[in-house]
Amino acid sequence: MLEKLRIIFTIPELRQKIMLTLFLLAIYRIGWQIPLPMIDQEAMNQFATNMANTGLGDFLAKVSVFSASQLNQATIFGLGIMPYISAAIILQLLGSVYAPLEALRKEGEAGRKKINEYTRYLTVVLCLIQSAAFLKVVIMADPSGTGASNMTADLFENESGNLTFLWQIVAILIMTCGSVFLMWLGEQIDEYGIGNGISLLIMAGIVAMMPGALMSLLTDAKFELTSLTSGTVGIEKMIALILVFVGVVVGVVFITLAQRRIPTQSAKHVRGRRVYGGTRQYMPLRINQAGVMPIIFASSLLMLPPFLLSYLGKTMGNNWFANLLGTTGQVLQNPLSMVYNLIYVAMIYFFCYFWTAITFNPKEISDNLKDNGTFIPGYRPGRRTEDYLEKVIERITYVGAGFLALVAVIPTIISELLSVNFMVASFYGGTGLLIAVSVAFDLVQKIDSHLIMRNYKGLLE
């Protein structure tokens, strides 16, 4: 392995791509620490502490994981690339129901460039909306304004100390520019770096959280023999956590790479004196066809009701919302409850089938096979092939959804059985681990393509 790593850095082009990617990721991490001007960071830290165990705090923490953002702090990269991800998802969903977008998707490279252009425009609009909503939440958390602001210029502060409209406009523009800059960084990594720029930004944000969770675990650890179910982290519990982590990663890797191979055969074509086609191949269908999107949708929707009820209770001053929040909070704000996990698993199954239905079109694939003179042995081209593909994708989606549900509830199981802090246990499954493993494999495959092209062995060989 060390020899392969040495070979990677001996190839000038590949070394330049890797170094540029690391440099751009370093810029992202530096900007991630730069606060918005005129913000009292101590007050923001207090705000984050107060929100830690509320519906709003859980919602912001969940969104921060898969958007490379820092919503519990007011920084220039506070929104991360969440607006870009939202814009891409919206256009992908619209592409299945809106005819002009569907036509663009079928135009190849030219259509893809046009859709990317629309995505950028929509990203700017969503940046403005989401940054305004974020500031509104911060201001509502401290209506007096004395905790959220510490401004020296009279231009940005009125006599009562509340945040003025002009300051909000400045903050909205700064956060919008920060997210657009991150989108540009991702595109530069795609074009000049190693690739998968947006995914690498998300992975960098997830990996950056791991040292803090590890330090919190080691701080409470005692190097002595203790019971696995005790609240103390001893030697047995550390060994068990390491073995569980390795096992979960191996399982995630196995399912991520798992495929259902559909055999295909192309028809023979006689052109002149030569015969083309007639070869047997296969069409790979991923077991986890939906990727990490079902967990993202399910976890976000579970966090929304407590967040909305809390917001309505503060803005409208109605006790009914507060009472309803207290009732639902016991279920939707406690990831260790049985009801929460049952709802969580059911929503993951629903969104697995929903997202697969959006992204996988059996009719389109059947038509493409027919146009290329390819067929699945035993099934006539057209309707029979379409029905067969739909039947296969339904079965493997059931398995993929079960895998996602298991990964999603593993942190709860570890937290309950081993009495470990839930924030530490969350790195053993869920959205963060899936994203990190998927992006790592894509990165390794891109490096392998450069090595194999130059007659070297790949990293996975």
Within a domain: 65 = yes
CA 55 to centroid of chain Cα atoms? 20
Within a domain: 64 = yes
The enclosing domain of 57 has a CATH number of 1.10.3370.10
Collapsing DSSP to helix, strand or coil, 87 comes out as: helix
Tokens matching residue 184: 């540009």
For the chain, which ranges sit under pLDDT 50? Answer: 142-161
Distance between start and end Cα atoms, the chain: 10
CA 109 to centroid of chain Cα atoms? 25
Within a domain: 46 = yes
pLDDT at 199: 82
Residue with tokens 């945040």: 163
**pLDDT digits 0-9 by tens, 105-148:** 778 778 888 888 899 999 999 989 888 887 776 655 543 444 44
8 A C-beta contact, residue 437 and residue 253: yes
Within a domain: 40 = yes
pLDDT at 177: 92
Within a domain: 275 = no
Within a domain: 39 = yes
Tokens matching residue 368: 């493409």
Tokens matching residue 73: 């702090």
**pLDDT digits 0-9 by tens, 275-320:** 666 677 888 888 888 877 787 778 767 766 666 666 665 666 555 5
Q: Which domain holds residue 63?
A: 32-193
For the chain, how many structural domains are there in total? Answer: 1
CA 71 to centroid of chain Cα atoms? 15
Within a domain: 156 = yes
**Which of 333, 353, 461 is CA-nearest to residue 405?**
353
Within a domain: 248 = no
List for the chain the helix, strand, coil content (%; round to 5).
Answer: 70, 5, 25
pLDDT at 375: 84
Backbone φ and ψ of 179, nearest 5°? -70, -40
DSSP track, 142-158: STTSTTTB----GGGB-
- State pTM to two decimals: 0.76
